[in-house]
Structure 1
Amino acid sequence: MAITRQLARVSAEFLASCRQSAGASPDGDPRWDPPSADVLDLDWAPFPLQRVCELGGLDDIHRKAVQQALDGDTVIDLAFLDTHPHAISPFGPDPTALSAARVARVAELLGQIDFPALLAALPTDEAEAASLIGNGADKIVGGPKKYLLGHFNAMREFYRGASRRRLLVVLWWD
C-alpha cells in the first residue's frame, strides 16, 4: 500500500463540525469528508520537492514556506481526526494543519518561487538529476523534473485557492 501526502482545504466551521461529530459519536466518527475538489494528493513528491529547493539554492524564507506547505504545523488540535477506527492518518504521523492566516502567507511565498529555475539548476541528464534528488526520484516514470513541476504547480494553486477562500489546510499521510 502506497503512503502519500494528502491535503484538504476546509473552513474553520467544517473542522468544528467534525470535532463536534467526533465528540458526539459513540465511536468517535468525525464525519470527515471534505469535497473532492478541495483535496490534493501530492503522492510521494514532498521530499523530492524539498530536495530540489535545497539543490536549487532557494533562500531560507521560501524553503520554510515550502516545508510548511508540505508539513503543516501543530497549532490546531486535530487529535479527533486521529482516533481509531476513523483515523485519517493511520499509516503516518498525526494530521497537522495550517491556519487560514498561515495559509495566506504560505500561498504568497509559494507564488514568488520560480520552480522551473530551481529545476534548471539540476543537471540536464534526468538520471543524474534523479541521483542528486534521491528519495526514489530515479523510479519516477517520465523523469523527476516534469513530475515535480506538476506537483509544485498543483500545490501552489491549491494554496492560492485556499488563501482566496480563507480556508485552513489539513495535511496527513495516507
Structure 2
Amino acid sequence: MAGTQQLARVPAGDLAACRQSASASPDCDPHWDPLAYDMLDLDWAPELLVRVGEVAGLDELHLDALRLTSAGGTALDLGFLDTHPHTIAPFGPAPAALSASQVARVSELLGQIDMPALLAALPTDDREAGSLIGRGADQITDGPREYLLKHFNALRDFYLDAAKRHLLVVLWWD
C-alpha cells in the first residue's frame, strides 16, 4: 500500500537527461536527484483533499484538477524511474507526470478553489467532519481542517511556482 505522495518540479531537459542516463547506464541508473527546494511531500493528504471537495460539492472541473495533482495526466515515458534497483516508487504505482501545460492549467484551477470555504462546509465537530471525509481523517491528531488546509496551501503554492517556471511535475507514492 502506498504511503505518502511525493512531487518534484523538473525541467523537461532534466527529465530527458535522466532518461538518457538510464539508457546509457549498465544498471539503468537515471541519476534522479531533484533539488530539495523542488520537492514536496504531501503525506497522505491528496485523497483526503479530493474527498473534501466531493463532500462539500466542489464542481467536477476543480475536482478533476485535484485528482490530477496526485494521479498525473500525461503520457510521458517515466519507465526509467520505475526500474529496479533505482525505482523511485517502490511501494506504490508507477511514477506519473503532468506536462508544463497541464501544470499551468492545474495551477490556475487550484488558485480558484476556496479551501477554507470547503472545510467550513463540513460539520463543526472534528471527529464528525473526519468521519464524513473518511479514509482515516477522523484520526488526524489536531483535526482534519488544519492538516488539509496546510497541505492544500502547500500543493497550490508548489504548482503555482512550477507554472511560473514552466516546469513539469513528476509524482509518485513512496
Measured against the shorter chain, the TM-score band is over 0.9
Q: Deviations over 1:102-138 (max 9, x none)?
A: 0000000000000000000000000000000111111
Q: Distance in 1 between matches of 2:71 and 2:7?
A: 10
2:123 corresponds to which letter in structure 1? P
Asked whether the 8 Å contact 2:89–2:172 carries over to 1, the reply is yes
Match of 2:134 in 1: 134
Match of 1:168 in 2: 168
2:60 corresponds to which letter in structure 1? D
How far residue 46 of structure 1 moved from its aligned partner, in angstroms, is 1.1
* Higher mean C-alpha deviation, range 68-77 or range 100-109: 68-77
1:82 corresponds to which letter in structure 2? D
Q: Distance in 2 between matches of 1:172 and 1:84?
A: 15
How far residue 92 of structure 1 moved from its aligned partner, in angstroms, is 0.7
Match of 1:81 in 2: 81
| Matching of residues 84-163 of structure 1 within 5 Å | 84-163=84-163
Q: Deviations over 1:71-130 (max 9, x none)?
A: 112411100000000000111111000000000000000000000000000000000000
1:72 corresponds to which letter in structure 2? G
Q: Distance in 1 between matches of 2:92 and 2:41?
A: 15
Match of 1:55 in 2: 55
Alignment pair present for 1:17 and 2:17: yes
Q: Distance in 2 between matches of 1:118 and 1:70?
A: 19
How far residue 139 of structure 1 moved from its aligned partner, in angstroms, is 1.4
Q: Distance in 2 between matches of 1:119 and 1:106?
A: 20
Instruction: Report the secondary structure of 2:30's partner residue.
Output: coil
How far residue 2 of structure 1 moved from its aligned partner, in angstroms, is 7.3
2:23 corresponds to which letter in structure 1? G
Please, what TM-score do these two structures have when normalized by structure 2? 0.98
CA RMSD of aligned residues (A): 1.1
Instruction: Report the secondary structure of 2:170's partner residue.
Output: strand
Would you say how many aligned residue pairs link Structure 1 and Structure 2? Answer: 174
Match of 1:66 in 2: 66
2:3 corresponds to which letter in structure 1? I
Which consecutive aligned stretches of 4+ in structure 1 deviate over 6 angstroms post-superposition? none
How far residue 163 of structure 1 moved from its aligned partner, in angstroms, is 0.1
How far residue 10 of structure 1 moved from its aligned partner, in angstroms, is 0.1
- Structure 1 spans left out of the alignment, 5+ residues: none
Please, what TM-score do these two structures have when normalized by structure 1? 0.98
Q: Distance in 2 between matches of 1:79 and 1:53?
A: 32
